[in-house]
Structure 1
């Protein structure tokens, strides 16, 4: 089911980022650099809006930016396919793999890390808000 959250500014950041990654991979690599630049702006904007830098949306954007930076060297460009596909999933159906990964970090969970917890986080239906709870 589509989950187009057009009233949410964050959704628009992700939409434009997905489009830039698609352009960067399929048409012109400049799109990859623009996606990284937009993600820096996205991170800065959400950091300024958050009451603390450890806020979950800030963490998701931080680790997303790290993934994009890891993919920048020519030999690693194939990695951009992962955030491109994942970002389109976030934009279209609200499934954010990065948020699910970040929710498993020790400071974001209240229970021990088990295979059952990992399974629950990754197969649960998309939700509005945080998957951490």
Structure 2
């Protein structure tokens, strides 16, 4: 278990978020669903650097927990990795359905948000698996 895989997954997650929430991909559609009547630029202007910092810290904590879970499961095969990705994705994504329904949010925003969470879980698990178990980086 190393710090390198956590740091790489944080940077990849931030890069993925930059692309995912951009106006060219899903950002505009999501903004229209969640903030009707406001432009994409109006929503983004209130975003402080602390939001990005806290997102990075939160992702680092999740990556650490995934790394610890992989170690506890003695992860050694690709099939176990796929099962872990499926289980984690199911837990994270399915628990959000009631929040969206009770919150009266548009179902499209749920697909966009949970698609992003799914991609983060996949990338994080693959990065940790590759760096810690295939390359066996010592740091």
TM range (shorter): 0.3 to 0.5
Q: Which fold has the larger relative contact order, with Cα–Cα distance below 8 Å and residues 6 or more apart in sequence?
A: 2
* Structure-1-length-normalised TM-score: 0.36
Instruction: Say which one has the larger Rg.
Output: 2
* Structure-2-length-normalised TM-score: 0.35
Which one has a larger percent helix, Structure 1 or Structure 2? 2
